[in-house]
Homo-oligomer: A and B are copies of this chain.
Amino acid sequence: MTLSLFLTYLAGCFAAGATGVLIQPGDWYRSLRKPSWTPPDWVFPVAWTTLYLCMSIAAARVAGLAGSNAAVGQALGFWAVQIALNTLWTPVFFGLKRMGAGMIVLICLWLAVAATLVSFWRIDLIAGLLFLPYIAWVSVAGALNFTVWRLNR
């Protein structure tokens, strides 16, 4: 792992994180019925900052392996898919206010994160471990998206 690799993958996370800065939940989200276990608002930016750092470190570890093979290229491909889907969710849910379409994006994101986790784990144990908080958080976010969608039909 080198600093340039870490910063490159972190730049991808900045693009994804920019959606959360530019597209705010607003009055629409505040007016929705939400489950009792909805995390407070301040948790989300803290969680995402932590997760973006973890996933950039994990990617830099895998990308920096010398003498690697196509398994690394496959794993980094899954990483690219998950960061694009991560960028897509906020505009669909908060921008378009389409909770069903947001659910589809989240399911695809969960699958992409799971694929990245498994392929990273096989290459580098620490990189795999660094993806565990991410899959846990996307599971919670998926349950929240689903519940909010059903409560506000």
Contacts and interface: CB of A to CB of B under 8 A. Distances in A.
B67 A11 contact: no
Nearest to A112: B11
Name, among A64, A65, A80, A91, the residue most crowded by chain B CB atoms within 10 Å (CB to CB): A80
B88 A15 contact: yes
Interface in A63-108: 63-70, 72-74, 76-81, 83-88, 90-92, 95-96, 98, 101, 105, 108
11 contacts: A2-B70, A8-B80, A22-B91, A22-B92, A62-B73, A65-B70, A66-B69, A76-B80, A83-B83, A84-B86, A87-B87
Interface of A: 2, 4-5, 8-9, 11-13, 15-16, 18-19, 22-23, 59-60, 62-70, 72-74, 76-81, 83-88, 90-92, 95-96, 98, 101, 105, 108, 112
